[in-house]
Amino acid sequence: MRDVILWGGTGQARVLREALPCADFRILAVFDNRPIPSPFPDVPIYLGEEGLRSWLAARTEAIEVRACVAIGGHRGSDRVLLQEWLQQQGMQPLTVIHPRAFVAADAEIGDGAQILAMSAICANVKLGRGVIVNTSASIDHDCVIGEGVHVGPGANLAGEVRVEDYAFIGVGAVVSPGLKIGRSAIVGAGAVVIRDVAADEVVAGNPARSLRR
Ligand SMILES: CC(=O)SCCNC(=O)CCNC(=O)[C@H](O)C(C)(C)COP(=O)(O)OP(=O)(O)OC[C@H]1O[C@@H](n2cnc3c(N)ncnc32)[C@H](O)[C@@H]1OP(=O)(O)O
């Protein structure tokens, strides 16, 4: 049994709990910067950094606790910063791989990545730390995915796509082979991307066109 805390108490927390086999993991506490109710009736929630510090101070067991940042959307840099901060507090990031995800034997998965149900990480893919591969997304052979990237539910990246740090690929988007999605770019829901996307650019539609830079 491994002990885990979650930072973030909304939808992504519920998704992560479902992805962690309950026989192997125990969620001890949830933390959030907002005063919200716990997503789980059986797990207490604490407010912000102060809540975490007092929770840590009150702990008596010296058992290792892992941390998971349950923040989705396009806030990938926040996710990675929080992951680093939690590491500094003594909690190593937990990498979550749903039991029904496919991960190729030679794929490299960064610390704190979250690979959700029915997703596929194919041969020779590299995922940075804190990446989310959401439900039913696929990342085909030889893709390189930077840290804090979020590949939304049902999105499909063809082979040899490069996605730079903190980019966000919306639900159901498709990215053609060999393209580059720049740092912090956003690909809209359902977009069909047929050319490179610049850093910070927002694209949408079929074929995907720039909404703004
Ligand atoms: C488990 C989970 O839920 S994970 C979360 C997954 N979330 C997503 O996939 C959401 C992805 N986000 C989107 O697709 C957003 O619409 C964005 C980021 C592309 C654009 O958002 P905004 O900047 O707020 O754009 P806004 O809604 O103002 O629309 C601007 C224009 O783009 C169009 N547009 C917006 N999104 C899209 C889209 N996905 N496809 C086509 N056109 C779009 C709008 O119709 C509008 O056009 P108009 O100016 O002619 O009226």
What pLDDT, on the 0 to 100 scale, is given for residue 186? 98
Helix (H, G, I), strand (E, B) or coil at 81: helix
Planar angle of CA 84, 87, 92, nearest 5 degrees: 120
187 and 197 in contact (C-beta within 8 Å)?
A: yes
Cα separation of 182 and 25, whole Å?
A: 36
Domains of the chain listed by start with CATH number: 2-88 (3.40.50), 96-205 (2.160.10.10)
Length of the chain: 213
Cα separation of 194 and 94, whole Å?
A: 34
What is the pTM assigned to this prediction?
0.96
Based on the residue annotation, tell me whether 141 is a catalytic residue of this protein.
Answer: yes
What pLDDT, on the 0 to 100 scale, is given for residue 154? 98
What pLDDT, on the 0 to 100 scale, is given for residue 22? 73
In testing the pocket of ligand 1, which one of 131, 156, 211 has its CB within 8 Å of the most ligand atoms?
211
Q: Is the ipTM of this complex over 0.90?
A: yes
Cα separation of 196 and 24, whole Å?
A: 42
Atom of ligand 1 nearest to the CA of 187: 19
Residue whose CA lies nearest to ligand 1 atom number 41: 205
- Cα(191) to centroid of ligand 1, in Å? 10
Atom of ligand 1 nearest to the CA of 169: 9
What pLDDT, on the 0 to 100 scale, is given for residue 101? 97
Query: Which residues, in sequence order, are bridge partners of residue 144?
Result: 126, 162
Is residue 212 exposed (0-12), middle (13-18) or buried (19+ Cβ within 10 Å)?
A: exposed
Residue-level pLDDT, tens digit, the chain, 213 residues: 899 999 999 999 999 999 997 778 999 999 999 999 999 999 999 999 999 999 999 988 778 999 999 999 888 999 999 999 999 999 999 999 999 999 999 999 999 999 999 999 999 999 999 999 999 999 999 999 999 999 999 999 999 999 999 999 999 999 999 999 999 999 999 999 999 999 999 999 999 999 987
What pLDDT, on the 0 to 100 scale, is given for residue 59? 87
